[in-house]
Amino acid sequence: MVVEKLTEHEIIATSSICFHCQQAVEKFLKAFLITNGKNIKKTHNIEFLLSECADIDSIFAEVDPKELSEFGVDARYPGDMYIPNEIETLEYKKIAFDIKNLVENRVYKFIGYNN
């Protein structure tokens, strides 16, 4: 993921990194829903998507996305955009990779892929 490359060195563009975390999480959650036969609603709301996923697998209810949804909106409508610090940015990176792993494990199992 782009996020991994962007955080290998000193973190400079924290808002951009958090935007990519939000985008990755959104796409992974939508992939999980599609895999499970659900129709996708046009939304960038991570909390809503997690709730939809939790209806299928309760482990998604345990995920705390913090304010990740905001970065999907802020990047599209800049203005008083919040600039997260490095610690927050790394927390959002962890959330993105945790969700990536949750979804990959379930989708791979669903399609019979052994990684």
Q: What are the backbone angles phi and psi of residue 103, rounded to the nearest 5°?
A: -70, -45
SS3 of residue 13 by DSSP: coil
Q: Taking the complete model, does pTM exceed 0.85, yes or no?
A: no
pLDDT, tens digit (0-9, with 9 covering 90-100), for 60-109? 999 999 998 888 876 566 667 788 998 999 999 999 999 999 999 999 98
Q: At what angle do helices 46-54 and 14-35 cross, to 10 degrees?
A: 30
Transcribe 25-88 into DSSP letters. Answer: HHHHHHHHHHHTTPPPPS---HHHHHHHHHTT-GGGGG---TTHHHHHHHTTS-SS-----HHH
pLDDT, tens digit (0-9, with 9 covering 90-100), for 41-70? 999 999 999 999 999 999 999 999 999 888
- Cβ of 114: how many Cβ atoms within 10 Å? 5
In the chain the domains, ranked by start, together with CATH numbers, are 2-111 (1.20.120)
